[in-house]
């Protein structure tokens, strides 16, 4: 786990203590999310050992997706994951509210698939609120 001197308050602080390859993946994820969901608000949160970037629509409690960079990967998680699973997207985890993809290297980063998934959860979140 990365060690933060204080909880990260910016994207730079979130990725700064991480290996270069993870920084690159996190930066690519952020760009894809911002381009695909330009109306989403970004919030950086965390503690001394863990940080994450959350993306919400219309209010901070309406989270669409987020990612948690660690020393070895970025976990890209999606709320409204059930519809993604129903459409055949493979997600990991057992969370009630969110499931994730693990991106360990640049070769795990499938931009078109990530964009498709973001657009699906965006529509689900917009319809439910």
Taken in order of first residue, the domains within the chain and their CATH numbers are 11-128 (3.90.1150.200)
Question: What pLDDT score was predicted for residue 44?
Answer: 96
Question: What pLDDT score was predicted for residue 2?
Answer: 64
- Asked whether the beta carbons of 27 and 39 are under 8 A apart, the reply is no
Write out residues in the chain with pLDDT < 70, as ranges.
1-2, 129
From the centroid of its chain, how far is CA 96?
16
- Asked whether the beta carbons of 1 and 18 are under 8 A apart, the reply is no
* Whole-prediction pTM: 0.91
Question: What pLDDT score was predicted for residue 55?
Answer: 96
CB burial class (10 A; 0-12, 13-18, 19+) of residue 33? buried
């Amino acid at each position: 786990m990365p060690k933060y001197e204080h909880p990260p308050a910016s994207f730079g602080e979130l990725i700064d203590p991480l290996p270069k390859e993870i920084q690159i993946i996190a930066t690519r994820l952020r760009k894809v999310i911002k381009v695909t969901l330009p109306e989403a608000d970004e919030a950086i949160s965390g503690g001394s050992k863990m940080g994450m970037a959350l993306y919400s629509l219309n209010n901070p409690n309406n989270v669409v997706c987020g990612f948690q960079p660690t020393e070895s990967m970025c976990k890209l998680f999606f709320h409204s994951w059930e519809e993604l699973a129903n459409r055949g997207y493979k997600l990991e985890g057992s969370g009630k509210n969110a499931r994730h993809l693990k991106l360990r290297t640049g070769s795990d980063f499938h931009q078109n698939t990530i964009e498709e998934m973001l657009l699906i959860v965006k529509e689900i979140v917009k319809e439910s609120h």
